[in-house]
A = this chain, B = another copy of it.
């Protein structure tokens, strides 16, 4: 690496990020198996190979080891031993501040064993805000007495009053293909009756999923979608954001945020150009791509207008992931924009402005944080 003392390099190093989609860090200590499995997103079985033998594993050793006082590229065994000596809270107090994130937007819909917004704020020394998962609201409404639709609406508005946005995991509940129009009240009532009779857990009913999306649209706060890369419970090809076209055509002004997006980041960028209210990020993917993250970040900068690209880590579990997202993003955006400037395609001041847009200004605008 050639040291870069430019204003652009300095700015990228220093800018405080808004991490617009993350989950909580682990609360309690666990064994090595838990940690290594947390280095693999897609596999839902226990790993048979080491989770370190991957781009993410190498990136942890390259970028996280120095935060723990270890040399870059330290061996997995030594990394694990140091990590084990520290509690999860202590790890979070090291990694979260090192990410230089001013605001964490936390999807609280999963992980009883992970931190909520209070711990994330305390450990990082910065602000944390809630993002409400729609499928969790649905399950709460199914468990509530009385009319499902009214219960959903009441819970959504109550929770959203202190939240900055909503999130859908439709990708994990049948995918994006098929009708996503708003169902009628009668359809919702019938579907809710059936679902409650079946126990009201793990919502997969398309009518109720569609109902939740349209209620979130009316709420007007940004609506995040898990898109593309995730675990194999989802059919990846059904999480292609192009299947959202009809839904987006009727989505009005509510910001729609496409998360992760790999390997559909070019399709997502197209949608961000095609609709005034569509945004995208590359969270989760950047961590898993490690040394290949710059190539991915470059593709995020293709069709999407620069006011529609956001930063997130999608960190979940090990606090390394909340830090690593920031470290790899800073590295990658530097490499890509340095190239654009060196080739004479962008001015350096333009590059600095785009860094600010992606790092925090776009998120601050739509989430009002």
Contact = CB atoms under 8 A, between A and B. Distances in A.
Interface of A: 1, 40-45, 47-49, 53-55, 58-59, 62, 72-73, 229, 231-232, 235-237, 240, 242-243, 245, 249, 262-263, 266-267, 270-271, 273-276, 288-292, 295, 298-299, 301-308, 335, 339-340, 342-347, 350, 357
This chain: copies in complex: 3
B242 A274 contact: no
A212 to B, nearest CB: 24
Nearest to A46: B276
A288 B304 CA distance: 10
Contact of A54 (B232, B273, B289, B345): B273
7 contacts: A1-B342, A59-B345, A73-B346, A229-B270, A235-B245, A289-B303, A292-B298
Report, nearest first, the 7 A-B pairs whose CB atoms are least far apart.
Answer: A42-B274, A291-B345, A73-B347, A263-B266, A232-B274, A237-B242, A42-B273
Chain B CB within 10 Å — which of A53, A59, A304, A305 has the most? Answer: A305
A72 to B, nearest CB: 7
B273 A289 contact: no
A231 B73 contact: no
Contact of A249 (B73, B232, B298, B350): B232
A355 to B, nearest CB: 13
Contacts of A350: 58, 73
B306 A53 contact: yes
A53 B1 CA distance: 30
A58 B337 CA distance: 13
Contact of A275 (B43, B263, B273, B290): B43
Contacts of A344: 1, 62, 72
A287 to B, nearest CB: 11
A44 B231 CA distance: 35
B263 A340 contact: no
A240 B236 CA distance: 11
Contacts of A340: 291
Contact of A276 (B48, B302, B335): B48
A59 B301 CA distance: 13
Contacts of A59: 345
B54 A276 contact: no
A62 B303 contact: no
Chain B CB within 10 Å — which of A245, A267, A302, A344 has the most? Answer: A302
Given A43-B276, A235-B242, A292-B301, 8 more contacts: A47-B276, A53-B357, A58-B350, A62-B345, A229-B270, A232-B245, A263-B270, A291-B339
Nearest to A245: B235
A19 to B, nearest CB: 22
A343 B73 contact: no
A49 B47 CA distance: 46
A49 B291 contact: no
A59 B340 CA distance: 11
Given A303-B42, A350-B58, A232 B292 contact: no
B54 A306 contact: yes
B346 A273 contact: no
Contacts of A44: 274
Contacts of A304: 54
A236 B43 contact: no
Contacts of A47: 276
